[in-house]
Amino acid sequence: MAPDDLSKPLGLKRSGGPSGRWILPLLLAVSGACAAAILAALAWVAIVDAPLGGEPSARAAIEDPATMLPADGGASVEKPQKQASSGSQIVTVIDGKSGARTEVAVRPGADDADRDEMAGAGSSIDARLTEISRHGAIPRIADDGTRPLEAYSRADPGAADRKGPQIVIVVGGLGVSATATGEAVTKLPKGATLAFVPYSAELPRWTARARDAGFEVLLQLPMEPFDYPDNDPGPQTLLSSLRPAENLDRLYWFLSRTQGYVGVTNFMGARFTANADAFRPVIAEIAARGLLYFDDGKSSRSITAKAAAETKSAYLKADIVIDAKPNWADIDAALEQLERTATDKGIAIGSAGVLPVTIERIARWARAAEGRGVRIVPLSTLVVRSKQS
């Protein structure tokens, strides 16, 4: 029997078997084909933008968790989207009723340089009337008892002794639009009181400019409306759901935005000012810092008068909202009613926003009213008058 492959001696060929001359060329050919395929794949990856050839793919950005937190620790507002000058951030405030979007620059907490700039930006700031919080300088009563209310008042000391009707005009919403704010400072009668929203990066300059022009200044405090958060006043809004200490910390944040104001007023806030437990500690702290509180008269459910009496706070409220219906005919009618009230009672208070039509009609009415013996006086005049009476 012929030996098989296992039993034949090494190195011997089977007789009649195939020749091995073709094996080496075959191996070389296979190796060359594999090398060519690898080179082709590498070239495809290097040249083509989508080397996966249409396979589904996605890119995900990993964000810093700290930047994903709500801007005010609870309020649902749009996150800062871009950087403004001087380290400020731009936030978008959305009106839940109209859908209007307003971008405002929010200043960071004031440092020493910021406070020096505030003191040098126009009308001087009395250092005795400030103290440093974790957010920056905030108002206080001086050691000698002087309040910011008296120190920054534009009231004429002899106004209470003069005859004739006196009218207070408080115009709010300033500081967000440079154009509207400039129009108000330029066109409104100098006895008017100007209230500023606290979010503008240029707030210290705007309030100093207003004071240099002879106006009395208020700071607006964003407060929770009934349709919050659909209608969102902005970052750090005072909320009825927060503990008193949290709202006071937010209050200090607002108070540090600028200096030189005689008091504060609400910016929205129908729900917050209707909640005695939430509002009472805030108005008590406002009084403790020597400031007055002004209610713009837009909410019929406000309990501010009662809270002010309980906390012995300086408090005033608008008799008429001048532009409740923002068209020239209704604004003129409201101003006529305001003048009649002042004629009957001796003094009356009107509140308004910074709409162009409002500014134009108030300026036009004031020129004529002064000819009839009506005097436009700052808000603090009423506090002086009440103390003297």
With contact defined as beta carbons under 8 Å apart, do 374 and 167 qualify? Answer: yes
Which residue type is seen at 268?
Answer: M
- What the block records as the tokens of 245 is 């200490």
Percent of the chain with pLDDT over 90: 64
Which residue type is seen at 42?
Answer: L
| Residues 175, 286: Cα–Cα separation, whole Å | 22
Q: How confident is the model at residue 17 (pLDDT cuts 50, 70, 90)?
A: very low
Mark 72-110 as b/e (b = at least 16 C-beta within 10 Å): bebbebeebeeebeeebbbbebbeeeeeeeeebbbbeeb
- Report the length, in residues, of the chain: 389
Q: Does pLDDT of 18 surpass 90?
A: no
* pLDDT digit string, tens, across residues 228-285: 999 999 999 999 999 999 999 999 999 999 999 999 999 999 999 999 999 999 999 9
Angle between the 276-288 and 244-255 helix axes, to the nearest 10 degrees?
A: 40
With contact defined as beta carbons under 8 Å apart, do 237 and 250 qualify? Answer: yes
Specify burial of residue 255 (Cβ count, 10 A radius: 0-12, 13-18, 19+). Answer: buried
How many CA atoms does the CB half-sphere of 380 hold within 13 Å? 24
* pLDDT digit string, tens, across residues 194-229: 999 999 999 999 999 999 999 999 999 999 999 999
Percent of the chain with pLDDT over 70: 66
* pLDDT digit string, tens, across residues 284-330: 999 999 999 999 999 999 999 999 999 999 999 999 999 999 999 99
pLDDT at 167: 97
Q: Does pLDDT of 185 surpass 50?
A: yes
pLDDT at 307: 97
Q: What single DSSP character describes residue 65?
A: G
Angle between the 328-345 and 356-371 helix axes, to the nearest 10 degrees?
A: 40
**What domains does the chain contain, in order, with CATH numbers?**
82-388 (3.20.20.370)
| Residues 206, 212: Cα–Cα separation, whole Å | 10
- Give the residue, 357 or 84, on which the prediction is more confident: 357
- Give the residue, 34 or 353, on which the prediction is more confident: 353
pLDDT at 160: 60
Question: CA dist 335 to 183, 294, 362, Å?
Answer: 19, 19, 8
| Residues 44, 34: Cα–Cα separation, whole Å | 16
CB atoms within 10 A of CB 345: 11
